[in-house]
Every structure is written in C-alpha cells, then in structure tokens.
Amino acid sequence: MIRHGVRLVRIVLTLGQFRLDELLLDAGPLRLAGLARLIPGRGRRVADQSVGMRLKSALETLGPIYVKFGQILSTRRDLLPHDVAEALSLLQDDVAPFDSQQARAIVEQELKRPVDEAFAEFDAKPMASASIAQVHGARLKDGQNVVVKIVRPGIEAQIKSDLALLYQLARLVRRYHPEGERIRPDEVVGEFERVIVNELDMQSEAANCTMIRRNFENSKELYIPKIHWPLTANRVLVMERVYGLPVRDIDGLKAHGVDLEKLARLGIRLFYRQVFRDNLFHADMHPGNILVDATDPNNPSFIALDFGIVASLTQKDLYYIGENFLAIFNREYRRVAELHVEAGWVPADTRVDELEAAARTVCEPNFTRPLEEVSFAELVVELFTVAQKFKLTIQPQLIMLQKTLLNIEGMGRSLYPQLNIWDVAKPELEAAYRERYGFKRTADAIKRQAPGWLARTPDLPNMVFDAVRLAASGQFRTQIETQDLNALARHVNAHNHKVPLSILAAGLIIGAAILIGYETPPLASDYSVPGLMTLVLGLGVGWRALRKR
C-alpha cells in the first residue's frame, strides 16, 4: 500500500514537473502536482512546449506502461483536443531489451523443453523490444526461419500494480475534476486494461492471426504469416518470419518502382474488407506493423504483423456503422441522425432534426473542398464529437474502429498524398454490403438455422400447453393498463384473423429458404425455381395478412 502511495505521488509530481497540473484544475488532492513547480529549475525546459508534447514527455518519463496508455488514450479523439491526440500518437513503444538468458528461460518454461531441442538456432540478440514483449529470430529444425515473441518477465505484476494506480488516479479525477463525469476517466482506464491484458496472451494473439490468415488465405493482396502452434504458449509465440519493405520507407518503395497510388488504394480497400466483409480487423495498423512485398512493383501487396489488438463489432453496430458511412458518403444527413437514434447511440427522445442539422454542419463544409483533401476518418471523429452534445455513448469497439481508420488513411495519404479516400471507400463498402446482406448470404444463414428451428418445433405444443395450464391455475398473470379495453379487444380480434395467414406466410418463406439453400432443381441462375416460386407465394400471403383488417 505504501509502495502504491509513493508511486501515485510520483505520477502526480511528474505531471507537475511538466506543467500539466493545469489540466487537473481544482481536482482536490491532485492539486499537489503544483508543488513540483516549487522545485528550482523544474518545468523551465518544457515551458514553451504544447500541452500535448508535455503530456507525451511526462508519459515517457513514467515508463513503458504509461507510454502504452498514452497510445491508447490517443485514440479517444472524442475526449482529447486534436493537438493532444496528435502528440500522443507519436509515442513510440520501444524500450531496452531484457537479458537473452531470461528470454531462453521463459521459452523453456513455456514449451517444457530446452531451446536447443525446439530450435536449430536461436538468436541471442533481439530484433525488437517493446513494453509487453520482445522478438528474437530463430530457425526451426526443418530449416524454416521464424520469429519468437516472448512476454517480458514480471510484466504481469507491473501491469497489475500500474492499473491499480491508474484506476485510483481516475477515480480522483472523476470525483474532483469539473468535467469528470463527461470524461469518465475510469472507463478510459478500463479500455486500456482490456487492450493490454489481451496483448499479454500470446495464444490469443496467435488465434487472431490465424483467423485473419484464413480470411485472406488465397489473397494476392494481403499476406498473413503462419503460426507454429506446437511452439506457441501463453507467453511465447512462434511465427513465420516474413520479409518486405517497411511501408514508411517511401524512398525505398520508390527505388523499387512500386506503384504508390495503387498501394495506397489497396490499403483502404483491405481495411473495408476486414471490417465489413469479415467483421474482424487488425486494430493496430500503424506503419511499424506493415510491410510491403515489392516483388512485383506494378502489383505490390501488404504483409501484416503483430496481431495483439484485433477487434470486431456486434452485428448491430456493424450494420449501423456501415449505414452511417454510406449516409455520409451520399450526404444524407437526415439518415445519419435517424441511424444514431435507431442504433441507441443517442437517447430515444433526441430531436432528429437537431441532430440532422449538427451532422450537416460538420459534414457539408468538407464537400466544398476537393475530395482528395478530405479525411473521411477525421470527419467521422468530428461527427461523433459533435454528437456528444446529444449524450452520445460510444462502445470501445467503435473507438478501435476510429483509431484504425485514422491509421489506414494516414498511411494511404503518406504513400500517395492525392489519394481520394471517398473514391476508394464507397464502392468497397457498397460491395461488402451486397455480399454481407445480400440474398445468398441470408439464404445460407437460414439454411444453417433451419435444422435448429425444426428440432425445436416438436416442443411448441408442450410450451403452449404449459402456458395454458399456468394461466388456468392462476400462476400465469398479466396486467393490462389501458383506458380503452374495447379498443384493445378490437385490435386482438383483428390480429386473430391475421394469425392463420401469418403462420402460412412464415411457413412458405422458411420452406422457400430451405429449397433455395439446398439448390433444389430445376435451377435458374443458380437459384432453385421451386424455392423462388414458394418465396413469392409466401410474400404474397404475408402482404395479405398485413393488409387484413
């Protein structure tokens, strides 16, 4: 406890050292950060720096876990000023390596065999070292070159301790800071905890890598390295070693004659496919995690690395975020506002016309500029920021999506500054939507679920009987609060007339889906003719049931 207190005091004094106590305002006990200004000479060297750069320096002083926290914090552009977010995005997760003997010991402990038995060669000098893990080169017995990612020793205990301190600091900020309830710093720390705990599990990262590799197994545009599962454990990951040019090496790419415009457009397309086609996307796509295969300069491809942060959306969020994107592309601001309400991102009593006006105010000025100068990612961030006035609540998955979108657009524009994001993204999103929500995907889904429906059908009579029995015994009770029971009776009577037709329509539609899903002949354009006829009949009966009074 004393150690935690000392550490907390150090954090607060470091904020004061870099003149960041102004951010805390009158935050109760945290005002002691101002005491650091009394120390002679402190704060002078940073007096002329921006708040963002001072915060960046403070986090670097506190250590690698806080650098990681700053990187995650930089994604919360709905909470941070633009200049602060930009400064934090410059944080580099690069720390001194730990001893190679410790690395070997961890490998042997996790794999339960000597390093020399698992590998033909194991490089003592690490290739890279970060706050969570470091990477060593190695060669397998069969001659394959691999990389071995090893979790830093003692990092779990350090993270647990630092998280406790961050939560303590967050609670103080939320309690005493005037904007504490809006900022919700404890939830920000919670986002960081979810990310960093997942990064500690090498088996989870290996599974993420394997799933994305499966989605792009036959792709010539994105290569995902192979995981060597027999040599992968909780704290050790062994992956195929891949070679390519760093995507940030623009001069090197030009020297190899790479078509940079084509490469930039490809990066945008791959992002939209991961999100809207597969609903599984690499959420840490900064330049350090991307290589370029320039073997064919006219048809370059990407190689992705480091799958510690991979995200997906709920089906509901995936649908609504895609619809929002399309509405923005088409300048349908009323639709943007309606979607925010339908998705539950803003309260149900939000005035749609006011939210529509806010969306128009944010988006429309961008259409007065050449589209190659417009950042769609920045526009989405601005829209969500304005929606905060309407009590917008954003789930962490959407934050990761925003972050990745910013990274991908930034990479694309660095490769080809004249890149028209809209020209690439809109058709890719429309194509992904046709595939995900098209008739064939829906028929396939019904085909998969039909056996479950049929299996539960015999239970329906028993369920109805149990409901009737409970009602007869007085145990099944309902309470109706209405001022007009006669009107209710009329509605019930009308619905009772619709029930037989509704059941018939549902049966025909399910039957049609099964016939189409199993491609029952004869076929027309790969679709079952009996299935299509049954579907038309079912829709007709359903329409009649809806119109029946």
Give the residue numbers marked as catalytic: 284
Phi, psi torsion values for 345, nearest 5 degrees: -75, -25
Q: Which amino acid is at 378?
A: E
* DSSP state for residue 133 in the 8-state scheme: E
How far is the C-alpha of 70 from the C-alpha of 83, rounded, in Å? 14
**Distance of CA 388 to CAs 77, 345, 355, 383, Å?**
12, 10, 11, 9
Tokens in use for 81?
Answer: 């000023």
Task: Name which of 135, 163, 129, 158 is nearest 147 in CA terms.
Answer: 135
The vertex-380 CA angle with 377 and 386, nearest 5°, equals 140
**Distance of CA 542 to CAs 402, 508, 537, Å?**
41, 9, 9
Q: Which amino acid is at 109?
A: Q
E strand or H helix at 146:
strand 145-151
Q: What length does the chain have? A: 549
Tokens in use for 108?
Answer: 């042997």
Tokens in use for 14?
Answer: 């470091």
How far is the C-alpha of 230 from the C-alpha of 215, rounded, in Å? 22
Sign of CA dihedral 30, 35, 36, 42: positive
Beta bridge partners of 49: none
Cβ burial of 368 (10 Å; 0-12, 13-18, 19+) is: exposed
CA dihedral 416, 213, 432, 409 (to 10 degrees): -20
Q: Which amino acid is at 321?
A: I
Alpha helices in 137-296 (DSSP H): 155-176, 180-183, 185-200, 202-215, 250-255, 260-272
Tell me, letter by letter, the H, E, C secondary structure of 284-313.
Answer: CCCHHHEEEECCCCCCCEEEECCCCCEECC
Q: Which amino acid is at 358?
A: A
Tokens in use for 415?
Answer: 């490769």
Q: Centre a 10 Å sphere on the Cβ of residue 423 and count the other Cβ atoms it contains.
A: 12
Q: Centre a 10 Å sphere on the Cβ of residue 55 and count the other Cβ atoms it contains.
A: 22
Cβ burial of 101 (10 Å; 0-12, 13-18, 19+) is: exposed
Cβ burial of 448 (10 Å; 0-12, 13-18, 19+) is: exposed
* DSSP state for residue 249 in the 8-state scheme: -
